[in-house]
Chains A and B, each alone.
Chain A
Amino acid sequence: MSAAVLDRFLVLSPEGLLAVSKERGLSLSTEEMKVVQDHFRSRNRPPTECELETLAQTWSEHCKHKTFRAAVDHVEKDELGLERRREYKDLLKETIVKATDDVKRDWCLSVFKDNAGIVSYDGKNALALKVETHNHPSALEPYGGAGTGLGGVIRDILGAGLGAKPVANTDVFCFGPVGDGPEFKTGSGLSTRRIFHGVVSGVRDYGNRMGIPTVSGAVFFDDDFRDNPLVYCGTLGLLPVDMIHKEVRKGDRVVMVGGRVGRDGIHGATFSSDNLTTGIPSSVVQIGNPIVEKKFMDAQLAARDLRLYRGVTDCGAGGLSSAVGEMGEETGVDIRLEKVPLKYQGLNPWEIWLSESQERMVLAVAPENLEKIIAFFAAEDVEASDIGEFSGTGRLVVRHRDEVLVDMEMAFLHGGCPKRRMPSYWTPPSVQPFPAPSKGRKGPDVVDALLGILSQPTVASKDWIVRQYDHEVQGRTVLKPFVGPKSIGPGDAAVMMLRPDSREGVALACGLNPHFSRWDTYWMAASVLDEAVRNLVAVGARPDRIAILDNFCAGDPTDPRLLGEVVRAAQACHDVARAYGTPFISGKDSFYNQFVDPKTGRKRAIPTSLLITAMSHVEDIGKLVTMDLKRAGHWLYVVGETRDELGGSRYGIWSSKGDAEARWGQVPHLNPNETWPLYEKLHEAMNQGLVAACHDCSDGGLGAALAEMSLAGGLGFHVELRKAPMSRDLKEEARTDKVLFSESNARFVVEVSPKSRRAFQALFAGHPVASVGQVREGAKLQVVDMKGNSISWSLPAVEKAWTGGMKV
């Protein structure tokens, strides 16, 4: 490939155009190829190969979000067979972005336009948050793929505004069940254990070396993630409010800083915009070196404070072609590829242009600061190279010595991609009633069930992973991943203090539950959004300052049924975020998480997955609340109503012995207008110091929440299940398993001292909140069930089930 022109391009038939797209791995559709052909016809010349590649990178699903930006014709059929239609002109704008527009939060400083969403923090400083996925690379080369995934999102934060200082990382993984042997082989040929260990250590070695604490996350195991693991990496950054905007002026120099360019990571953006299959060269995956990134991070932030540059973006997917193309959109840009420093000689010019070699940023530098900034970086052994000029011509011009590889209008590069129109269809699955519980050998099954749920790898302690990640570097982590006297209890959210002289802080949490998608992605999305929000509320973060991020992962969106799932989830995001007043500030999507076996043609897609990452402001870190039981004699309350909602529950998985086809029971719903007042009141109770401990109910319901609080605090309890607030049908049916394990949203277990009891109850008068029992000394977890019988667990058994559940 070179500046050579594609001679016959202008006269190719639509089929011929598609063949060119396929042969060259451009991942462009016939329609998009036709738009390119028409453009070059009007210019009376065929495109160069490099121009075609540049268009493919810029128009890739990965960079352009063509599905979320598409016009969608959505059709739903309900249980009665009635059809409802809705036309979206732009899916993203009418769902997620609309929620943000509607809630009008003045503390949102920069949303959906920069490399990260930015909100105000303490008046002088702002917070930037971004979460990315690196799924395709991690399936092929887990260690490198996951590590560079984290490296990439850190650069997003360094490229947000004029650059934010990363202060926390989050990581969320979805894997197939861990094992070796033929039954654990994945599409890329690696075992699920190889992928698990590779991803965990890749993120560990990158994050720890960057000196950024990994404070929040989740791990989800399900066989449908076997071929396509999901690796979400997020970074939170801190920057002065007067540095949230960037600019590029005509005449500014294009300066590349950081690592050198090699042949690694060629075609990363386009490869991740297609289904995974076998025979993909691992050269699409980048090779990371965190110390190179750490070096330029330190130097860049110092250069920022001296205002030595005025624009910055990271070099990620698409390499220079994307970064430079994006920064020069308004001005145009003139690039000299021979000035780009290389790892080794022998790269073709187009490889220099497209390589996704890691650890690079592109800066816009005023000519008078050029020498100064190069010397500034050199003082810390960071290479900075002047590779061109923001030209003012409105054109993207790329040269290598005398050869012109690209000469295109920016307007076409960025505005030429045709809008897609996509069909979308959804019909609910048929759901069976939840079967009656079987009797266990030693009495009621709920005793075994709770231990079984606690030891499910998705629910069980992630201690083995968490302790390999430095979650305290920078000394800011005031609520750590594990809480309680033995530091084994799963905290609901992490909290960071950002300045040593202030009691303010920022809380981070997430929500994820792809299993619910097998029922209905609308309620999946509503549930995970609620989970992320209530995790923040559970520790005492402000409910009125919650900002959220969406990360969608799904299979092939050109399948209308799959797109239907995405549309419903996006609609739920809008509805709940709007009702809660929690704006989305940024987001990302990753499609084609589907493996196609070239021999059999068998397709295997992941369940549609949505990660919601949430952050909020903490007024006074001294008022934060942890989930470990504090003291015998304190009262236990359940906040929020339990309903007959066992669809997709961990108990359902336990009862059906992991049958992925079982659709038992109703998936949890959410009425945000009813639940929000509970969150505000709970926050008020915490502000008044009335809450000794609080834990949200999610996986495993009330039963798991109580057990986790108990093992975290090393104390037992006595609880009467019948006293919990619950729907009338549940009360009448009186099934202990349902009440104990329903995963209804918007619920908490709260510990209150006798002294605070009256005030707590008064605060919640008229709401579904009830005292259910007391914290007890000793190692017995005792529950009086729905029929009045006493059942119990021993603390050591519960602790053993939970801490030993995740097999590595």
Chain B
Amino acid sequence: MTIKALVLRCAGTNCNGETTWALEKAGARVEEVHINALLKGEKKVSDFQLMVIPGGFSFGDDVASGKVLANKLLYGLRESLDAFVSAKKPLIGICNGFQVLVKCGLLPGLDGWDKDLSVTLTDNDSGKFECRWTFMKTASKKSIFTKGLPDVFPLPVAHGEGKFLPSSDKVLKTLERNGQVVFRYVDPQGRKAGFPWNPNGSTADIAGIVNAAGNVLGMMPHPERYAFPHQHPHWTRLKPLPENGVGLQVFKNAVRYAAQVN
């Protein structure tokens, strides 16, 4: 079956185009849907098997990154999103989408839909926007999203507020114990490293997490910006050039998994 994927759009969404490219390349049929269409009931989340909240500056990141869109989801779409997530359908938030999922409580999702923020994404330690490539270490092999990914692989980041900050050590330990940490920033050799490889000062180098149930993924790096081989920052040196960008695997995994649960 062909998976129908919803790419959510609102004022300030920027990465919908490349997210659609990546999802289509991964085999999904994609519809970019404006938040207003969902809020008015013109479109339904339940008509889709996979959903992505792409990067950008939703509502200008006014108040705080992702906060306004998070509130729209929380107070306008809670029931349908709850049903989507409870049905174990895959939901991915990338960059600003990750910020949205954290601020609405779907991530880390320790109680399903968290009432209180137990983690946040805040200003980079460098104090400025950072657009650069770094490396991911796949921290959880069990996750549905990491199958077939290399142990260490490159992805770009582009954000000003990407520092992952848990509210306590206890929260961090819980996330690690649950296997909810899926990606960590590392250097090209896969070692723990400071700036610029950890581009924002994230605690424990955390770049991406899933919810306790494992079907909601949030990550600051952009897998959709490495779906095609020529998107690599020094592809002119890669011999032979790989057929696809590594980031595509994340979307392939999501599409394959969506086909299983639906």
Contacts and interface: CB of A to CB of B under 8 A. Distances in A.
A497 B133 contact: no
Contact of A483 (B11, B57, B225, B233): B233
A626 interface: yes
Interface in A628-672: 628, 630
A628 B222 CA distance: 25
A485 B237 contact: yes
Contacts of A483: 233-234, 236
Contact of B230 (A467, A485, A621, A625): A621
A468 B131 contact: yes
Interface string A601-631: 0000000000000000000011011101010
A472 B156 CA distance: 8
Interface string A469-480: 111111111101
Nearest to A471: B131
B59 A467 contact: no
Q: How large is the interface on A (under 10, 10 to 19, 20 to 34, 35 or more residues)?
A: 35 or more
B148 interface: no
B18 interface: yes
A211 interface: yes
B251 to A, nearest CB: 12
Contacts of A468: 128-131
Contacts of A294: 11-12, 14, 57
B173 interface: no
B128 A484 contact: no
A440 B233 CA distance: 39
A305 interface: no
Given A470-B158, A472-B158, A291 B60 contact: yes
A491 to B, nearest CB: 10
A204 interface: yes
B11 A467 contact: no
A38 interface: no
Q: Is the interface of A mostly helix, strand, loop or mixed?
A: loop
A295 interface: yes
A487 interface: yes
Contacts of B132: 467, 487
A484 B234 contact: yes
Nearest to A291: B60
B29 interface: no
Interface in A291-317: 291, 294-295, 298
A470 B36 contact: no
Given A471-B131, A485-B234, A290 B60 contact: yes
Contacts of B147: none
A298 B35 CA distance: 13
A290 B235 CA distance: 33
A622 B230 contact: yes
A559 interface: no
Contacts of A289: 60
Contacts, number: 114
Contacts of A470: 129, 131, 158
A154 to B, nearest CB: 13
Given A291-B57, A484-B234, A626-B236, A204 B225 contact: no
B7 to A, nearest CB: 13
Nearest to B226: A475
B134 to A, nearest CB: 10
B113 interface: no
B37 interface: yes
Contacts of B130: 467-468
Nearest to A295: B11
A475 B36 contact: no
Contacts of A626: 234, 236
A624 B236 contact: yes
Contacts of B230: 478, 497, 621-622
Contacts of A380: 11, 34, 36
A379 interface: yes
B57 A625 contact: no
A478 B235 CA distance: 9
Interface string A193-211: 0000000000010001111
Contacts of A298: 9
Contacts of A487: 132-133, 233-234
Contacts of A466: 131
Interface string A345-382: 00000000000000000000000000000000001110
B17 interface: yes
Contact of B11 (A291, A475, A485): A291
A415 interface: no
Interface string B155-167: 0101000000000
A475 B225 CA distance: 5
Nearest to B21: A500
Contacts of B129: 204, 208, 467-470
B231 interface: yes
Contacts of A484: 234, 237
B14 A473 contact: yes
Q: With a 10 A CB-CB cut-off, give which of A209, A475, A483 has the most chain B CB atoms.
A: A475
Interface in A458-517: 466-478, 480, 482-485, 487, 497, 500
Interface string B224-250: 110110110111110001000000000
A626 B21 CA distance: 26
Contacts of B13: 211
Given A379-B37, A380-B36, A473 B236 contact: no
A473 B234 contact: no
Contacts of B22: 475
B110 interface: no
B21 A381 contact: no
Contacts of B256: none
A299 to B, nearest CB: 9
B232 to A, nearest CB: 9
Q: With a 10 A CB-CB cut-off, give which of A209, A624, A630 has the most chain B CB atoms.
A: A209
B25 interface: yes
Contact of B14 (A211, A476, A477): A211
B68 to A, nearest CB: 10
B237 to A, nearest CB: 6
Contacts of A467: 129-132
Given A204-B129, A290-B60, A472-B131, A477 B231 contact: yes
13 contacts: A290-B60, A294-B14, A379-B36, A467-B129, A468-B128, A469-B131, A473-B15, A475-B17, A475-B231, A487-B233, A500-B21, A622-B230, A622-B241
Top 8 closest pairs, chain A to chain B, by CB: A211-B14, A475-B18, A291-B60, A478-B230, A470-B158, A626-B236, A500-B21, A468-B129
Interface of B: 9, 11-15, 17-18, 21-22, 24-25, 34, 36-37, 55-57, 59-60, 62, 128-133, 156, 158, 222, 224-225, 227-228, 230-231, 233-237, 241
Interface of A: 204, 208-211, 289-291, 294-295, 298, 379-381, 466-478, 480, 482-485, 487, 497, 500, 621-622, 624-626, 628, 630
Given A625-B236, A628-B234, 8 more contacts: A209-B57, A291-B12, A468-B128, A470-B131, A472-B158, A475-B17, A483-B236, A487-B132
